[in-house]
Amino acid sequence: MKRIRSVGIVGTGSYVPPKILTNSDLEKMVDTSDTWIVERTGIRERRISSPETTASSLALPASLAALQSAGVKPEDVDLIIVATSTPDMTFPSTACFIQDKIGASRAACFDLSAACTGFSYALETGQQFIATSTYKTALIVGAEVISKVLDWTDRNTCILFGDGAGAAVLQPVADNYGILATSLGADGRLASILELPVAGCIHMSGREVFKVAVNTMIEAVEKVLDSAGISQEDVSLLIPHQANIRIIEAMGKRLNIAQDRVFVNLQKYGNVSAGSTIIALDEAVKQGRVKDGDIIVIVAFGGGLTWGATVMRWGG
């Protein structure tokens, strides 16, 4: 039996492409309005990548920034896991492309598919490898060029999503720091309410997804807080999947976590799927909203349906 040790995020980075698509741009493309989009979702603009951009090209600056903030050299990375629904190719994995681009020649590489919950699944997977001492350093990436799999004539979906990437470096940390508990879940019976068929576009029954999202994320957060023996009042910052402000507010209210302890950046980026929570965490760190010793909760949901929550004590 290998030794179990505490594992935490020791560096983060993110990158979004420069081109902004505003709600008023969308008014010219589909039958929608800025008012409708802001009231129903909270989104004001999103980033759209150029035709030649891939998930790995967005992940490159995000990964380098995460490594730099962790003070880790690419050649010291043992493992790269990429959560994406829009990989560069079916194979090689997007992780292999990132390995080559950053020069992490020693790293084992694979991609993981859990839609918008991808970063949570990847974080827990990476954590397991380090906790058991199989590896010391993992680079966990959530990267999406989701604009390339949208039906730009479908106002139900095309207004919601945007492109971007985030990355986190995982390493062993002091006891009682790092990831304290994780809860992952899935319900394959609900596969058809949010799907991206091979070579197709995203299709979604928004209202149904909305209800399941709120309930499953609340349950997942309650579960991890309970396993870690932490109360709602002790949560310094909740970092939810950035899909819809109404989902986030409903969750915060039912969990008794005031909105000033909930991080929101969806007005700028829309839903970046697997990139969503890690881009949000990186921005929160940069804004000084995450300090040593803080209790941070990341929670997400997505196609599958899948969901997951992670509670961590920052630093160590």
Contact residues: ligand UT7, CB under 6 A: 32, 36, 40-41, 116, 155-156, 159, 194, 204, 206-207, 209-210, 213, 243-244, 271, 302
Q: Respond yes or no: is residue 109 known to be catalytic.
A: no
154, exposed or middle or buried, with CB in 10 Å at 0-12, 13-18, 19+? Answer: middle
Closest to ligand UT7 by CB, 38 or 230: 38
Contact, 185 vs 314, CB < 8 A?
no
Contact, 296 vs 311, CB < 8 A?
yes
Closest residue to ligand UT7 in the complex (CB): 206
Q: How far is the CB of 214 from ligand UT7 (least distance, A)?
A: 9
Q: What are the strands, taking DSSP E only, across the chain?
A: 7-15, 20-22, 45-47, 79-83, 108-112, 138-144, 164-172, 178-186, 194-195, 203-204, 237-240, 295-302, 306-313
Q: Respond yes or no: is residue 241 known to be catalytic.
A: yes
Q: How far is the CB of 215 from ligand UT7 (least distance, A)?
A: 12
Classify 273 as helix, strand or coil. Answer: helix
In angstroms, the Cα distances linking 122 to 18, 37, 96, 269, 297 are 26, 31, 15, 21, 15
Bridge-based pairing state of the strands 7-15 and 178-186: unpaired
Q: Respond yes or no: is residue 271 known to be catalytic.
A: yes
Distance between CA atoms of residues 206 and 130, nearest Å: 37
Return the closest-CA partner of residue 63 out of 45, 46, 49, 84.
84
Q: How far is the CB of 70 from ligand UT7 (least distance, A)?
A: 28
Closest to ligand UT7 by CB, 96 or 247: 247
Q: How far is the CB of 46 from ligand UT7 (least distance, A)?
A: 13
Closest to ligand UT7 by CB, 204 or 290: 204
Closest to ligand UT7 by CB, 34 or 222: 34
Distance between CA atoms of residues 183 and 192, nearest Å: 23
Q: How far is the CB of 169 from ligand UT7 (least distance, A)?
A: 25
Q: How far is the CB of 40 from ligand UT7 (least distance, A)?
A: 4
Closest to ligand UT7 by CB, 104 or 213: 213
Closest to ligand UT7 by CB, 41 or 49: 41
Residue with tokens 């983060």: 12
Residue with tokens 């091979």: 198
Q: Which of 109, 116, 158, 244 is catalytic?
A: 116
Q: Which of 23, 109, 241, 244 is catalytic?
A: 241
Contact, 269 vs 144, CB < 8 A?
no
Catalytic positions, please? 116, 241, 271
